[in-house]
Amino acid sequence: MQQFDSAFVQRILDGAPEGIVICDARAGDFPLVYANAAFEKLTGYAAAELMGTNLRLLQGTDREQEGRRRISEALARGEECRVLLRNYRKNGELLWSEMYLQPMRDGEGQVTHYVGFFRDASSRLKSAERGNEGLPGWLREDRVTGLSSRAWFDELLEREWLIARREERPLTLTLFDIDAMGLYNDTFGKAAGDTCLKRIARTIAGAFRRGSDVVARWDGGIIAVLAAHRDGVSVGGVVDHAQATVRKVAEMRVHHPRSPTQKYVTVTAGLATVFPQRDEELPARLIERASHALREAKRDLRGGLNQAPD
């Protein structure tokens, strides 16, 4: 494959139609080290004004955003993510931004930089009348897996939460995390990693086919499944089904020579159930409990499924 010098690559970045930034992951607070012309035009800031700063300044005082939490989680794990953010241009104008964050690694697999791709979503959100019709179609689907996007999942969770509260029934969230996905990408390349992710995502989605099930790409190699417990489906039934899905992925025997547990692709899952009629429970609590169950399962290094206690 032909190699290109850095000046040629920079001309490509400078001429790209969407905003592109690069932040240093080795320095504290992920300072900006590059911004192209499209990003300057999008935000109204000159690159020199932002150099060495953290791009959180684009949110101003508007800090309570789900997208910001998801970015923090992705940075902590060294993973990619796609979010919708309320940013603000230099003149104070609101700028809805679709942002895709991609980690860049050195030869030893360490994240050295993050590349951010920004698109202006303001006009499309306005035309969709977001408050009445929900997210527009282009933001509802994850581009890699074809599953629901995280942004669309969040909206559906809010709706299902209100319905479950009214009908006095529980909701169960299961998070399936592909083990050592970063090592798989490092071994076979990003394109092969995306192909593997699609295959696992299809397998999980195929296992949860009820009309009330919501299957979405969470972040990186994590697939989320929300079970609404309609039609007499019990919590125990969902737990058994999730365990069977973990085994089904392992039985696919997708080769993964650098997996720390097996020599093929496996998933680890965390599951939690809550009853929305309890006043103290909020959708974020369900996410928190499922995420905690997943972290505990990953720490155990034995894989499988971990269920949060009631």
| pLDDT tens per residue across all 310 residues of the chain | 577 778 888 888 888 999 999 999 999 899 999 999 999 999 999 999 999 999 999 998 887 787 888 898 889 889 888 888 889 999 988 888 888 999 999 988 899 999 999 988 876 555 544 444 556 666 788 888 989 988 888 888 888 888 888 888 899 999 999 999 989 999 999 899 999 999 999 999 999 987 778 999 988 899 999 998 876 778 898 999 999 999 999 999 999 999 887 899 999 999 999 988 755 567 888 999 999 999 999 887 666 888 887 6
Q: Where are the domains of the chain?
A: 6-127, 141-307
Which one of 3.40.470.10, 1.10.287.3510, 3.30.70.270, 2.60.40.420 gives the CATH number of domain 141-307? 3.30.70.270
Nearest to 152 by CA among 216, 82, 87: 216
pTM of the model: 0.63
- Within 8 A by CB and 6+ apart from 207, the residues are 241, 244, 245, 248
Q: Do domains 6-127 and 141-307 have the same CATH topology?
A: no
Sequence-distant (6+) residues with CB within 8 A of 211 are none
Phi, psi of 107 (to 5 degrees): -65, -20
CB 293, CB 286: distance < 8 Å: no
Please state which CATH number belongs to domain 6-127: 3.30.450.20
Tokens 């959180």 found at: 56
CA dihedral 277, 161, 298, 206 (to 10 degrees): 130
Please report, for residues 154, 165, 227, the alpha-carbon distance to residue 274 in angstroms, rounded to integers and kept in the order given.
Answer: 16, 10, 11
